[in-house]
Amino acid sequence: MEERNIAGQIRLGAPLGQRLQRWRGGALRFFRRQPLGAFGLVICLVTVLMGVFAPAIQRHDPNFADVSLRLQAPSAQYWFGTDNLGRDQWARIVTGTRISLTVAFFAIGLGTTAGYLTGIVSGYFGGKLDLIIQRFIDALLAFPAILFALVIVAALGAGIDKVIFAISVGTFPRAARISRGVVLSAKENVYVDAARVIGASNLRIMLRHILPNSMAPYLILASVGLGGAILAEASLSYLGLGVPPPHASWGRMLSGSTQQYALIAPWLMIFPGVAIMVLVLAFNLFGDAVRDMWDPKLRGR
C-alpha cells in the first residue's frame, strides 16, 4: 500500500514538474530571444515592487511639508531633494509609482476587456448588430484618445476613478476593432462548425472556443497599452485634470511651480520626468517583445 501511495505521488507530481520546466524554459527563451523586452520586464517588475512596498521605502511622509527645508538639493537625507513646499521628492515619486501603476492596470484592464468582448460579439453575430457597433466604434476612433479623456475628466471631475474611466474609454475602440477582425477569422474554423453541429449555444461557442483561441491579440494590446496609459495619466495630471492633491502624481509634480524653479532647482523636473520616461519605455519594450513572441509573422525575426 505504501509503495502504491508513493508511486501515485510520483505520477501526480510529474505533470507539475513538467509544467515548471516548460515555464522555466519559456522564460529563458524569452530572455535569450528578446533581451530588450526582458530588460523592460525587469524594470516593470522592480517598479511594481516599489509601488507595492512604497510605505516601507519612501523614508518620509510624501505629503509632509516643511517650508524651512524647501528646495533642498539631493543629499544623503533627501535622495531626490525637496520641492518648493519642503516635501521629500523621493517619497513623492515612490508614492506616484503606486498611483501610476494602479491607474494604468485598471484602465487598460477595463478598456481592453470591454472592447475585446464587444468586438467578439460584433464579429460573431455580424449583420445589423455588427453594423451598429462598428459605426459607434468609428465615431469613437474619430477623436484622439487624450481628447476624450480630457472631456470626460472635465465633465466628471477629478479623481482616480474618473481618470481610470477616462483612459479606459480611449482604449476601448481599438480593442473592439482588433478583436472583431480576429473573430471574423476564428469563427470560420472547423472546431466552431463542429461545436455548432453538436448543438452548442452561441454563448458557449464564444466563451469556450473563440475567446481562448484569440487571446494573443488581447495580451499584446494590454501589454503595449500600459505605457500609453501611464503617459495619459501623467498628461492629465500635468494639466490639472488628473489625480487630485494631496496625492503624489508624476504629472502633477512637473506642473505648477516646478517650471518657476526650473533653473534654481532642476531636480524638480529631472526626477519625475525620468521616472515617466523610464517606465513608459520599459512597458513599450516589454509590449513589443510580447507582440514579437505571439505574432507568427514576427516570430522568426
What is the chain written as a DSSP string? -HHHHHHHHHHHHHHHHHHHHHHHHHHHHHHHH-HHHHHHHHHHHHHHHHHHTHHHH--S-TT---GGGTTPPS-SSSTT-B-TT--BHHHHHHHHHHHHHHHHHHHHHHHHHHHHHHHHHHHHH-HHHHHHHHHHHHHHHTS-HHHHHHHHHHHH-S-HHHHHHHHHHHHHHHHHHHHHHHHHHHTTSHHHHHHHHTT--HHHHIIIIITGGGHHHHHHHHHHHHHHHHHHHHHHHHTT-SSPTTS--HHHHTSGGGTTTTTT-THHHHHHHHHHHHHHHHHHHHHHHHHHHH-TTTTT-
Q: Does residue 192 contact residue 209 with C-beta atoms inside 8 Å?
A: yes
Q: What is the pLDDT of residue 208?
A: 83
Side-chain-side CA neighbours of 284 within 13 Å: the count stands at 11
Render pLDDT for 168-178 as a digit per residue (tens, 0 to 9): 988 898 889 88
First to last CA, the chain: 54
pLDDT per residue, tens digit, the chain (301 aa), is 444 444 444 344 446 666 666 666 666 777 777 888 888 888 989 988 988 888 888 888 888 877 888 888 888 888 888 888 888 888 888 888 888 888 899 999 999 999 989 988 888 888 888 899 989 998 888 888 888 888 888 888 778 888 899 899 888 988 898 888 888 888 878 888 788 888 888 888 888 888 887 787 888 888 888 888 888 888 888 887 877 777 788 888 887 667 777 788 888 888 888 999 999 999 888 888 887 776 655 454 4
Contacting residues for 186 by C-beta, under 8 A, at least 6 apart = 192, 210, 213, 214
Render pLDDT for 181-194 as a digit per residue (tens, 0 to 9): 888 888 878 888 78
Q: Does residue 100 contact residue 250 with C-beta atoms inside 8 Å?
A: yes
Contacting residues for 95 by C-beta, under 8 A, at least 6 apart = 54, 58, 62, 247, 248
Residue whose C-alpha cell is 476587456: 113
Q: What is the pLDDT of residue 142?
A: 84
| Amino acid letter, 35 | P
Side-chain-side CA neighbours of 34 within 13 Å: the count stands at 24
Which CATH homologous superfamily contains domain 35-294? Answer: MetI-like (1.10.3720.10)
Tell me the C-alpha distance between 59 and 84, whole Å.
19
The residue extents of the domains of the chain are: 1-33, 35-294
